[in-house]
Structure 1
Amino acid sequence: MLSEGQKITNIRRKRKISKGIIYIQSSFNNTIISLTNLKSEVLFWASSGSCGFKGARKGTPFSAKVAIDKIIKFANDQGIKTVQVILKGPGPGRETAIRSLQKSNFEILLICDRTAIPHNGCRPPKKRRV
């Protein structure tokens, strides 16, 4: 229990990390970007929705750029110099996010695409009759 005069504070500790992994999950409706350390423990995340975009604007390349800029700023504060990039999904934000990362001062060691591709999985819906 807190006594009078004590405050609860949420302090984000500054960790000095030199390498990180950036996961970009880009769908048609949103772009979610996570920054992790090499053990895949999430340090920071941002998405188009968390940057203030709503509705159809979340799926735009501009909203993905705003989200990746937020990640880049946090990574610079943490002292991250080299990153690996792992992409997933077919959305419009993936190209913009990679371009923004390449323009920043990070050394990109790896760009890996882990988009799921169906190997003749689910049966497609029946044909529409109009």
Structure 2
Amino acid sequence: MGQKRVISKSDGLGPADESKSVLLKLSKKARNKKIAKGIINISVSFNNTLVNVADSKGEVLLWSSAGSLGFKGSRKSTPYAATIVAKDVAEKAKALGMVEAEITVKGIGSGREAAIRGVAGTGINITSVVDTTPMPHNGVKPPKPRRV
């Protein structure tokens, strides 16, 4: 009929082993770096949430998004997805040795505050939160009104 699955004992991954497995998932550039202070950039749109971690010079070390974590369609734009993305990136950053971070938030969407709460919940000290949403200084000409 079908194959039988045999459940084996788990590897017993403790907290120390978990940080090693997190480090293995990082890129080579990020694995070699140890940072104590960095910048966490959160970009929120109506369709997705992107979070990346950079060192103090601005060089991006790791990133994640709602789509890359398996959220599809309209679930990517939820505050829950933003929280999960922020927690994922913050855990990877803690594995690199990050203790404190400056957060920059860009864009308008439902996951702005949720992403900040997700980073704060991991134990990283937040030194400042800066809103870098681009605002037009007059912008483009609006369309003509409709004549019905």
Alignment TM class, shorter chain as reference: 0.7 to 0.9
Shift of 1:104: 2.3
Q: How does 1:15-54 map to 2 (within 5 A)?
A: 15-54=33-72
CA distance in 2, matches of 1:11, 1:126: 50
Identity of aligned residues (%): 45
Identify the structure with bigger relative contact order (alpha carbons < 8 Å, sequence gap 6+): 1
Which residue type is aligned with residue 91 of structure 1? G
- The unaligned stretches of length 5 or more in structure 2 are 1-25
Q: Which deviations, in whole Å up to 9, do the C-alpha atoms of 1:2-50 show, x marking residues without a partner?
A: xxxxxxxx96324221011000010101111110001111110001111
- Residue 140 of structure 2 is aligned to residue 113 of structure 1: no
Across the aligned residues of Structure 1 and Structure 2, the Cα RMSD in angstroms comes to 1.7
- Give me the TM-score of the superposition, normalised by structure 1: 0.85
- The unaligned stretches of length 5 or more in structure 1 are 1-9
CA distance in 2, matches of 1:19, 1:11: 19
Q: Which residue of the partner structure matches residue 91 of structure 1? A: 109
Larger Rg belongs to:
2
- The answer as to whether partners of 2:45 and 2:107 remain within 8 angstroms in 1 is yes
Shift of 1:66: 1.2
Shift of 1:129: 5.7
Q: Which has the higher helix share?
A: 2
Which residue type is aligned with residue 117 of structure 2? R
